[in-house]
Amino acid sequence: RIGVLEGDVQTTLDADRLARFHTPIVQVNTDAGFGGECHLDANMVRSGLAELPLHDIDVLVIENVGNLVCPAEFKVGEDVRVMVYAITEGEEKPLKYPLMFRSADLVLVNKVDLLPHLHFDLEKFLRNLDAVNPGVERILTSAATGRGVDEWCSWLTGHAGA
């Protein structure tokens, strides 16, 4: 049983998109009352928890504000940290934003269905990833094709309550 705490500066677009899955979800915007922060912090997460039926949730997914800098600096009460990385961002990002990659327990390398169409060197990306977080677990995924989703679900099940 999954719940979601969705973080963004403004709007409920992501939460609205996920609503069709009938999963408990709460939107925490950092703009109203928090000054438009580029990340969630523990107090913001705590404010959202009160709006969730925690007794009905086994795994809470906290999606922090989407950038590669600020969210890595703040613990928000998570047991494990998973980073979803789109290959469309390029191979160099682990070197440019090492803290985000270094703080991850798992990196989901997403959009791998696009590999034949992009000038993306997967091996180079994985070397760069290992340069900042040696041996970090990674799963190649595609939301479009479903590749890696079963492996990701197994990983999540194995780490629930870690």
- Confidence band for 120, pLDDT divided at 50, 70 and 90: very high
| pTM of the predicted protein model | 0.88
| Confidence at residue 65, expressed as pLDDT on a 0 to 100 scale | 83
Is residue 153's pLDDT more than 70? yes
Indicate the pLDDT class of residue 25, thresholds 50, 70 and 90: very high
| CA-to-CA dists, residue 51 to 4, 25, 26, 139, angstroms | 11, 9, 7, 32
- Report the pLDDT averaged over residues 131-148: 97
Say if residue 33's pLDDT is above 70.
no
Helix %, strand %, coil % for the chain, to 5? Answer: 40, 20, 40
The residue-averaged pLDDT of 126-130 equals: 98
Q: What's the pLDDT score for residue 77?
A: 85
For the stretch 65-91, pLDDT in tens is: 877 877 888 888 889 999 999 999 999
Task: Give 84-101 pLDDT, tens digit per residue.
Answer: 999 999 999 999 999 999
Does 162 have pLDDT greater than 60?
A: no
Domains located in the chain, CATH noted: 1-78 (3.40.50.300), 79-162 (3.40.50.300)
pLDDT of residue 32: 67
**Which residues fall within 8 angstroms of residue 93, CB to CB, at 6 or more apart?**
68, 85, 101, 128
